[in-house]
Structure 1
Amino acid sequence: MSRYFDNELIAQIKDANDIVSVVSEHVALKKKGQNYWGCCPFHNEKTASFSVSPEKGFYYCFGCRASGNSIKFLMEIEHLTFPEALEKLANRANIALPEQELSPQQRARELHRKKLYEANELAASFFHNCLTQTSLGKVGLEYLKKRGLTKETIDNFRLGFAPEGWDRLYKAFRERGIEDSVLLELNLARKNSEGRAYDFFRNRVMFPIMDGKGRVVGFGGRVMDDSSPKYLNSPESPIFDKGKLLFAFDKAYKRIRETKQAILVEGYMDVISAHNKGITNVVASLGTAYTNDHGHLLMRQADEIVLAYDMDGAGQQAAKRAIELLQNTDFKVRVLAMPDGKDPDDYVRNHGAKAFEELVSKAIKPFDYLLNESLLQHDTNDSDGKQAVLQDMFPYITHTESQTQREDMLRSLAMPLWLDNSTVFRYFRNYTKKGNIELPTEVQSVTKMTQAVSPDEEQLMAMAINDGESLQEVLQYLPLEDFQNIEHRAIIEKLGSIYSSHNGFDTTTVEETLTKEEYTEYARLMILENTGRDMARLRGLIRSVRLRSLREQYKFHSRLADQLNRAGDSTFIGELHKCQEIQKIINEWSK
C-alpha cells in the first residue's frame, strides 16, 4: 500500500498543524508583534532573523532566505521527502490517511526493494557484530584502532569486518531464510563455475554505505595490507546508485547546513578520519567522480564546496572533473592542495583537526589550482612551455560565463608566463577563433535584474497576496508593468489566475504554480506584518505605486526626446506627445 494525497487533504493537514508548534520542536522562538522569531536553523547566526507567522502558516529567514510552510520546514530540517513530511504531520494531528492500492507489478517491486534493504541491514549488523563482539574481528578492530578511530566513531559509522572463510555470511543468511537471488543481486555472495556460493567480502574492514535516510544500500570493503584490489564495492542495484549518493551524507548534512560548506574527499577513510576528529561536514563520492546529482544533494545545504582530493594522478583528474562540473554553478568552489602529496586521512591523523581546518581556510580558487598544476608540469622558460600552459588554461576560461572574470584570468596568466597582457589576449582570441568557440554570456539572475523596491510596493504586495478582494482591486487598477520587481509582477498575475479559477487561494496550487524564486519572495511577503483588509490604505498604496511608475515613464520619454532632438531626429516630437499623455494621466491620479 502507498499513500495518496489530494490538495484538499494536504490543506487539511497544514491547517491542523500550528506552524509555531512544529517549528518550536527544532527552534527556540519568542513572540515579537504578530510573529515569532528565533535563530535560523539553516545557517549560523547570533541575531534572530528567522520569522514564523502563525496566522499565515509561513516561515521566512531574512538572512538566508529559507522559506515555506510546515511541510517544507520538516522536509528541510529532518531531510524528509514530501510524502514523509506529510505523513508525519498527519500522524501528529491524528488525521487518517487514505491508501491507494498498488498494482501487482508495483507490489512486487516494493516487496523486492524491502527484501534488499532488509538483507543489507542484516549484513551491516553481521559485519559490525563480527568486528566488535567476536574474536574473528579482532584483526579488523586492531587495524581501525591503529588508524586512530574511537569506539564512538566505529559505532556511529557501523564499521564492520568480513571474516576470513569461504561462506560464513552466506550460511548465516541462508539459515535466516534470505534468498540466494537477493544475496547475489546485492553482491554479498557469488557463485563459482560449479554453482557453489561464497562470500564476496572476506577478510576486509567493512564500510556500510547509507542513503540520506540512514538506510544501508551497499558496502565498501578494504584490505588491511597492500594486497590488491585495495577496495571492493557493492554493485549498483535497485536501491543503490553510487552517482547519486555521497558517503556519510546522512551524518554530515546537518553540519553542512550549519556551516553552509561541504568538504568533498575521495575515500571512506578520509571521511571517517575527519569525523573522528570532529570535522563533520565532510563527505565522499563513492568511487566515482563528482556528478551533477551530487550537486543536487548539496544544493539546499551548502553555499561552498571545498574539494580535498588526494594529490595523486587519479585524485588530480577527479578534482579537474569536479571543477568542470561545478563551473558556473551557484556554489562557491575552492580546492585544497594537500602538502607532500598526502591524503586527508593521513593529514588529519598526523596533524589534527585544527591544522586541517587551517588548510581548508587556505583552499584556493579553481583557476589558481589549475594554473599551479600546469606550471608544475611545464617548463615556462621556453615558448613551448608557455604555450602548453595557455592550452591547459584556455578551456577553463572559455567556459566561464562572466566576461569580467575571463579578462581577469587572462591577465593572471601574463605574469607567471612573462608575457604582456596584450599577447595573452591575442593568443586567446586566436584560440577561440581557431576552435570556432562561442564564448558564453553571463546569465543575470532575477535578483540581479531586480531594482530596489519602494516600501509602498512591498506593503501593497503584502496586502494583495493575503486578501482576495485586495488582489482584485490591484489587478483592476494597476498595470503589471507598474511593479518595479519583476517577481512581484509574476506573483500578482499568477495569484490572480488562481483566485479566479479556484474562487480563492488554494495554497497547494500556489506552491505548484510559482517558481522557486517567486515562492521565496511570496513567503517573505506573507511574513510582513500588515493591517489586514483596509481598502482606504490599499487605494492609497495603489495610487503611490501608479504615480511612481508614471513619473519614471515620463522621465524616460523626456530624456529620449531630448537625445533625439540633439541628434536631429524628428521622431523626438512623438516622444514629446507621449510625455503630454503621461502628464495628463499623472494629473488624473494626483487628484
Structure 2
Amino acid sequence: MKSGRLLEDIKTKNDIVDFISSYVQLKKSGQNWKGNCPFHSEKTPSFMVSPSKQIFHCFGCGAGGDIITFVMKHENISFQEAITLLAKRAGVPLPSEGTDKRASQKYEKLRDVLSEAGRYYVTKLKDSARAAAYLRDRGIDAGSIDTFGIGFAPAGWDNLLRHLRGKGCSDALIKEAGLAVQGNKGFYDMFRHRIIFPITGMSGGIIAFGGRALDGSAPKYINSPETTVFKKSDSLFGLSAAKDEIRKQGRVIIAEGYMDVIICHQYGFKQVVAPLGTALTPGHIQKLRALSSKAVLVFDGDAAGRSAARRALALMCHNNYMAKVLLLPDGEDPDSYLRKYGAESFDNQLRYAKSVVDFLFSVPAGDNIEIVREALTLISGVKDLLFAGEMLRELAERAGISESTIREEFKRVKGLNVTAVPGPRRAFSCEKKSEEHLLLSALISFPEKSDYILSRLDMDDIEDKVIASLLRKIATLGEMWGATQILDIADDEERKMVTRYSLEPGLDPEQIDKSIEGCFRRIEQRKLSERLRLAQTSGDAVLANSLLLEKRSLEERGL
C-alpha cells in the first residue's frame, strides 16, 4: 500500500472529471457532471461525477468511488496497476516498495521537526516585547496569534538549531525541513529576527514557515524552501483555518498576503486564503476545487493589481472556476482596508465584486472591440458550456453587440462549434431510509455534525453491518476524516454507500438537527421495543409492564 501522501498527490494531479470525460460523455448538472454509466447499460443518465469531492457514483448500478476505483473497475486492473497508470499520467514518480516505507518515515520525521520548530517560535514570541508590539501595532489580537500559531525567531545565528539539536534532531534533518542553511562556516538558522507565520497543510499540520523581518532586512518576507512536505505551487496560507467556512459559504476569497488573511479572519471573513508570494497556479486551483468552485479575487486597484487580476482570471477560466474580482482603492489591501473602514464596508465591497466581463470593461486596455476579443480569449478556455454560455450572454449585453455575432466570433476563437446546453438538472429521488442510513447520510453531507453524531452513537445499536463498519472507520480517522480518506480504506460495498450519500440530495440543511434527533429517538424506541419483546417472550411480566409503561411515556412525550 502506498503512503497517504503519495495517494493524495496522485489523486490531486488527476482531476476526476477530466479523466472520466475520456471514457464517458459528461454534461454539467448543477455542481456535478452527469452521463451514461460505463458499467451497465442505461438509456437515462444516472452516472454522476463530483469535481469538488473528486468522486463518482451511479444511481443505477450502485458503482462508486474515486479516480483509483474508476480505473480499477473500468480497466479491470489491480490497485497497484491503477496507481502506476495514474502516477504516470500525472508525472508523479513512484518509489519502489522497498523505499516507500523509508520515504514515509522520513516524511513523518520532517513533520515532527517542523511541529517542534513551531512550538519553539510560539514560545519565543512571549519573550519578545518588540515582536509583541509589532503585532499589536498591526492590529493582530491574541485570538489570531493563537489561531494561526504566530511566533518569533529571535536574532542570532543558531537559536533554533541548538534547540532542535537538543531534541535529538540531526543537522541534515533540520536542513531538509527547510529550517537551516549551510554556509562556509556551517549551519545557521533559516529564520532570524522575524515574525513567524506557520504554513499548514489541509489537515492543519505545519509544512513550512513564512517570516517577516523586524529590522528592515531585505527581503521583507521570506518563505521556507521547497521540501519533501512543502510545495509552494500548491500551498495556500490559511487554507486549514478557512476550509470549513469555504465549504459553508460556497466560495473562497483569495487575497495576496499573510496579513490580509489574518486580519480578514479576525474581522469575520474566515473564508480567505492567499498564495505564498506567488501568482495563483493550477495546483492552488486543484486544492480549492475540493472545497468550492467559486472565488472572489481581491487586489489593490493600482496597475500591478489590475495586471495580477487579469492573469488570475485567465487561470480561473481555464480551470472552470467561477471568479469575480474586487479591486480595492489604490494603495489599499484587505488588511489596511479593514482596519481603516471596518467589516461592514469591506462586506459591501465584496457584494459588488465584478464578474470577468465587468472587470474587463471597468479597467479597459483598449477600445470596445479589443476588450471583446480579450474576453472571448478568456472564455475560450472555459470547458463548462453552461458557464461559458452565461459569460457570452453577459459579454453581448455589455458590449452592445448581438449575441449571435458574439457566438460566431467565439466559435472562431475557440475553433469549434458551441453546442446547445442541456436543460435543468433532475434531482434523483431518495427512497425511504432507515434511521441508520439517515444518520450516515447526515454525517457525510454535514461533516460538521460528525463529533455530535459519533458521540451519541453506540455502535452495537447499528444493525446494518456495512454502516456499522463505515462508522467505525470514520470514528477511527477522527477529525481527519473525509470522503477521500474513507474511500482509501473502505471496501467495495462501503464505497458505494459513501459515494451515494455524498452525491444524493434529500436532507434539508434547515431541518438537519431535527432529523438527527429523530433518528436517535427511533433507535431508542427500537431498542426499547426489542427489550419489551424479549421480556414478554421470557415471561417476565414485571419487566414487560415496566418497559411498556416506559414506551408509552416516550410516545406521549413525542420522544
Aligned to 2:352: 362
Taking a change above 3 Å as real, the CA distance of residues 161 and 521 of structure 1, as seen in their structure-2 partners, is closer
1:294-443 superposed matches below 5 A: 294-302=284-292, 304-327=294-317, 332-373=322-363, 375=364, 377-378=365-366, 385-400=367-382, 401-402=385-386, 404-405=389-390, 407-415=392-400, 421=401, 433=412, 437-438=415-416, 440-441=418-419
Question: Do structure 1's residue 152 and structure 2's residue 151 form an aligned pair?
Answer: no
Question: Do structure 1's residue 213 and structure 2's residue 198 form an aligned pair?
Answer: no
Match of 1:124 among 111, 114, 118: 118
Q: Could you say what secondary structure the match of 2:327 adopts?
A: coil
Question: How many residues end up aligned between the 2 structures?
Answer: 365
C-alpha distance in structure 2 between counterparts of 1:293 and 1:281, whole Å = 18
Q: Could you say what secondary structure the match of 2:374 adopts?
A: helix
Match of 2:251 among 254, 261, 275: 261
**Cα displacement (A) at 1:225:** 6.1
Match of 2:237 among 213, 231, 247: 247
Q: Could you say what secondary structure the match of 1:109 adopts?
A: helix
Q: Could you say what secondary structure the match of 2:188 adopts?
A: strand
Q: What are the ranges of 5 or more consecutive residues in structure 2 without an aligned counterpart? A: 5-52, 58-95, 438-489, 508-514, 516-559
Taking a change above 3 Å as real, the CA distance of residues 308 and 179 of structure 1, as seen in their structure-2 partners, is same
Q: Are the aligned partners of 1:398 and 1:406 in contact in 2 as well (CA < 8 Å)?
A: no
Aligned to 1:474: none
**Cα displacement (A) at 1:359:** 1.2
Q: Are the aligned partners of 2:300 and 2:306 in contact in 1 as well (CA < 8 Å)?
A: yes
C-alpha distance in structure 2 between counterparts of 1:430 and 1:443, whole Å = 18
**Cα displacement (A) at 1:218:** 0.1
Taking a change above 3 Å as real, the CA distance of residues 278 and 518 of structure 1, as seen in their structure-2 partners, is closer
**Cα displacement (A) at 1:226:** 5.5
Aligned to 1:108: 102
C-alpha distance in structure 2 between counterparts of 1:225 and 1:412, whole Å = 53
Q: Are the aligned partners of 2:357 and 2:391 in contact in 1 as well (CA < 8 Å)?
A: no
1:13-162 superposed matches below 5 A: 104-132=98-126, 134=127, 137-162=128-153
Q: Could you say what secondary structure the match of 1:308 adopts?
A: strand
Q: Could you say what secondary structure the match of 1:278 adopts?
A: coil
Which amino acid in the other structure matches residue 115 of structure 1?
A: K
1:362-391 deviations in Å (ceiling 9; x for gaps): 212122112212x2x44xxxxxx4444344
C-alpha distance in structure 2 between counterparts of 1:427 and 1:296, whole Å = 31
C-alpha distance in structure 2 between counterparts of 1:436 and 1:361, whole Å = 32
Which amino acid in the other structure matches residue 520 of structure 1?
A: L
C-alpha distance in structure 1 between counterparts of 2:203 and 2:414, whole Å = 47
**Cα displacement (A) at 1:522:** 9.1
1:477-515 deviations in Å (ceiling 9; x for gaps): xxxxxxxxxxxxxxxxxxxxxxxxxxxxxx942565699
C-alpha distance in structure 2 between counterparts of 1:261 and 1:436, whole Å = 28
Q: Could you say what secondary structure the match of 1:356 adopts?
A: helix
1:59-96 deviations in Å (ceiling 9; x for gaps): xxxxx9x999xxxxxxxxxxxxxxxxxxxxxxxxxxxx
Q: Could you say what secondary structure the match of 1:309 adopts?
A: strand
Taking a change above 3 Å as real, the CA distance of residues 105 and 371 of structure 1, as seen in their structure-2 partners, is same
Q: Could you say what secondary structure the match of 1:364 adopts?
A: coil
Aligned to 1:520: 503
Which amino acid in the other structure matches residue 279 of structure 1?
A: F
C-alpha distance in structure 2 between counterparts of 1:296 and 1:288, whole Å = 16
Taking a change above 3 Å as real, the CA distance of residues 110 and 311 of structure 1, as seen in their structure-2 partners, is same
Q: Are the aligned partners of 2:360 and 2:371 in contact in 1 as well (CA < 8 Å)?
A: no
Q: Could you say what secondary structure the match of 2:300 adopts?
A: coil
C-alpha distance in structure 2 between counterparts of 1:514 and 1:318, whole Å = 43
C-alpha distance in structure 2 between counterparts of 1:114 and 1:283, whole Å = 26
Taking a change above 3 Å as real, the CA distance of residues 440 and 189 of structure 1, as seen in their structure-2 partners, is farther
Question: Do structure 1's residue 167 and structure 2's residue 158 form an aligned pair?
Answer: yes
Q: Could you say what secondary structure the match of 1:202 adopts?
A: coil
Taking structure 1 as the reference length, the TM-score comes to 0.54
1:455-470 superposed matches below 5 A: none
C-alpha distance in structure 2 between counterparts of 1:250 and 1:151, whole Å = 19
Aligned to 1:185: 176
* Larger Rg belongs to: 1
Taking a change above 3 Å as real, the CA distance of residues 513 and 67 of structure 1, as seen in their structure-2 partners, is closer
RMSD: 4.0
Which amino acid in the other structure matches residue 340 of structure 2?
A: N
C-alpha distance in structure 2 between counterparts of 1:427 and 1:284, whole Å = 35
Q: Could you say what secondary structure the match of 1:336 adopts?
A: strand
Taking a change above 3 Å as real, the CA distance of residues 2 and 256 of structure 1, as seen in their structure-2 partners, is same
Q: Are the aligned partners of 1:398 and 1:440 in contact in 2 as well (CA < 8 Å)?
A: no
**Cα displacement (A) at 1:159:** 0.7
Taking a change above 3 Å as real, the CA distance of residues 346 and 207 of structure 1, as seen in their structure-2 partners, is same
Q: Could you say what secondary structure the match of 1:191 adopts?
A: strand
Aligned to 2:492: 509
C-alpha distance in structure 1 between counterparts of 2:264 and 2:406, whole Å = 44
C-alpha distance in structure 2 between counterparts of 1:397 and 1:522, whole Å = 31
Match of 2:265 among 275, 291, 306: 275
Q: Could you say what secondary structure the match of 2:330 adopts?
A: helix
C-alpha distance in structure 1 between counterparts of 2:193 and 2:380, whole Å = 49
Taking a change above 3 Å as real, the CA distance of residues 310 and 124 of structure 1, as seen in their structure-2 partners, is farther
Q: Are the aligned partners of 1:307 and 1:319 in contact in 2 as well (CA < 8 Å)?
A: yes
Aligned to 1:200: 190
C-alpha distance in structure 2 between counterparts of 1:129 and 1:240, whole Å = 24
Taking a change above 3 Å as real, the CA distance of residues 390 and 523 of structure 1, as seen in their structure-2 partners, is closer
C-alpha distance in structure 1 between counterparts of 2:139 and 2:328, whole Å = 20
Q: Could you say what secondary structure the match of 2:377 adopts?
A: helix
C-alpha distance in structure 1 between counterparts of 2:109 and 2:236, whole Å = 23
**Cα displacement (A) at 1:155:** 1.8
C-alpha distance in structure 2 between counterparts of 1:443 and 1:329, whole Å = 19
Question: Which one is further off, 145-154 or 164-173?
Answer: 164-173
Q: What are the ranges of 5 or more consecutive residues in structure 1 without an aligned counterpart? A: 5-63, 69-101, 379-384, 416-420, 467-506, 528-591
Q: Could you say what secondary structure the match of 1:337 adopts?
A: strand
